Amino acid sequence: MTAMSDALLEVRGLKVGFPTPEGLVRASDTVDLEIYPRETLGLIGETGSGKTVLGMAILRLLQPNTIIEGEIRYRGRDLLSLPEAEMQRVRGREIGIVLQNSGTSLNPVYTVGTQIAEAVILHQGLSGPDARQRAVELLDAVGIPDPVRMAGEYPHRFSGGMRERALIATALACRPNLLIADEPTKGLDAVTKRGIVDLFSEIDRDHSVLFITHDIETAGDLATRVAVMYAGEIVEIGGAEEVLGDPAHPYTRGLLASLPERGMQPIPGSAPSLITLPSGCRFSPRCGCAVENCSREHPGLVEVGSGHYARCMLYD
């Protein structure tokens, strides 16, 4: 892939490792991706594939003993080498994040309005009453009914879907250029999920979104491009229609075939441990198309269509 200078965010050769007594957990391995202005990039993959770690690494939210290599360039600046004080100005203001588990992301002892206002006071220097007003506007914008009253309520009065909306409101409070949304539809029922998906497609915006999800259909609804992660690597990336409509990588095909609507054919076996990864292609032990060479050589990303890449020997 060629480096594009018009990308808002460029991740180059990102490696993230967690030292553990059992060995180094390679949660992200040589990840390359770009996010362009105003696009929604869907990042899909299963539990433990490294999606969340990638989102957290971009904002440098990982624990201090994490081993991080590579480059994360945001508007030309390498975030990994920024001093902490400058990084603090990027978080929230330039890049917003909606973390997983909306239930635990809000502080139970402050009202929701106070928590949104806090972000606005901190990053935009608004006065208390102005910030409060802005919090109400934001709640209104994300579709919370009766926002004036709800701003004064505590998180336990919010349902799962409403908490998710409140968190999205907080993340959007400072009008970031990039919004990282980590599983914002997890645990929501179909109707509530649909509301959140609609919200993402409706909020009028100039920002890009990195939409992390294990829900393939949601990614298909929202994303312009989709990246598929497996065992810490991107195994396929390209336009959403190409990747989900005509998948090239056997893993992506397997994921789609395991959907109940598409025959519910499970992928045999289970995902490898990130400490002892299989040699060669990481998916080869579970792959129906694997040939001898697959367990020996580690494939690179190969262009299979316009802007559509897959990490598979089939296309070498």
Partner 1 sequence: MIEVTDLETCFSTGFIRRRVVRAVDGVSFRIEEGETLGLVGESGCGKTTLGRSILRLVEPDRGRIVVDGTDVTALSRSELRCFRPRMQMIFQDAYTSLNPRMRVRESVAEPLKIHRMGSRTDIDRRVRELIEEVGLNEEHLNRRPYELSGGQNQRVVLARVLALKPRFLVADEPTSALDVSVQAQILNLIRDLGHDYRMTCLYISHDLGVTRAMSSRVAVMLEGRIVEIGRTADVLDRPSHPYTRRLVDASLTGPCASLERLPLPAAPTTVEVRSGHWVEETV
Q: Considering the complex, state which of residue 102 and residue 177 has its C-beta at the smaller distance from partner 1.
A: 102
In the complex, minimum distance from the CB of residue 261 to partner 1, in angstroms, rounded to a whole number: 5
Q: Considering the complex, state which of residue 202 and residue 303 has its C-beta at the smaller distance from partner 1.
A: 202
Q: Considering the complex, state which of residue 3 and residue 259 has its C-beta at the smaller distance from partner 1.
A: 259
In the complex, minimum distance from the CB of residue 194 to partner 1, in angstroms, rounded to a whole number: 4
Give the integer Cα–Cα distance in Å for 290 and 311: 13
In the complex, minimum distance from the CB of residue 66 to partner 1, in angstroms, rounded to a whole number: 22
In the complex, minimum distance from the CB of residue 310 to partner 1, in angstroms, rounded to a whole number: 18
> Strand pairing of 208-213 and 40-44?
parallel
Q: Considering the complex, state which of residue 152 and residue 160 has its C-beta at the smaller distance from partner 1.
A: 160
In the complex, minimum distance from the CB of residue 102 to partner 1, in angstroms, rounded to a whole number: 13
Strands (E), 168-306: 178-182, 208-213, 225-230, 233-239, 302-305
Q: Considering the complex, state which of residue 124 and residue 192 has its C-beta at the smaller distance from partner 1.
A: 192
Give the integer Cα–Cα distance in Å for 191 and 55: 27
What residues make contact with partner 1 under the rule CB under 8 A?
46-47, 159-160, 187-195, 198, 214, 216-217, 220-221, 254-255, 258-261, 264-267, 270
Whole-Å CA distances, 26 to 44, 233, 269, 277: 18, 10, 20, 9
